Amino acid sequence: MGILSGNPTNEPMHYGEVFGVWSFLMTAKASIAACQTKLNHAGDEDLKKLIQEAIQQCQQEVKQIEVLLKENGVGLPPTPPERTNACLEDIPTGARFQDPEIAAALSIATAAGLVACSQIIGQSIREDIAMMFGQFHTQEATLGAKLLRLNKEKGWLVPPPLHPTNTKDC
């Protein structure tokens, strides 16, 4: 049996997997802190629920990735401190993130997460890592769909110029 046959958890991670997974973990930890901050600024209840869902999703991903990296002898990136809860009314109006800005930032982060998951899946030679990030990708896509629906319902979506269809008869 070769080194890359059998149980994938017994296979070593290659440098690309280590870097990709480690970088994803560092970004996920930063995303938790960013979402906690944005939660303090959000006023819309539906948006708050999606932010909380994003935080819980990231926390679950962090736990899984930390186990993987520890089992493979990889040091973990630092974890930002938990953000405290603040009252929205205590944040000056000019210093607040507005709900549409928060929704857009969360949408951008979700899209970037999809790309990162796809990249890690594509470079993985260990099936367990590819499957883990396939699961994360599905969760990110689901969150992205919920964000798109929320942005449309609230009127926060700013579409690019729309291409009209040609209605002329040929």
Would you say residue 132 has pLDDT above 60? yes
Would you say residue 96 has pLDDT above 50? yes
Contact 131, 97 (CB under 8 A): no
Q: Tens digits of per-residue pLDDT, 58-68?
A: 999 999 999 99
Chain center to CA of 127: 21
Q: Count of H helices and E strands in the chain?
A: 4, 0
pLDDT grade for 1, boundaries at 50, 70 and 90: very low
Would you say residue 15 has pLDDT above 80? yes
In this structure, how many other beta carbons lie within 10 angstroms of the beta carbon of residue 20?
Answer: 22
Domain ranges in the chain are: 14-83+97-154
Would you say residue 6 has pLDDT above 60? yes
Query: In terms of pLDDT, which residue wins out, 163 or 59?
Result: 59
Contact 117, 132 (CB under 8 A): no
* Domain 14-83+97-154 indexed as CATH 1.20.1260.10: yes
Q: Which residue, 26, 102, 81, is CA-closest to 58?
A: 26
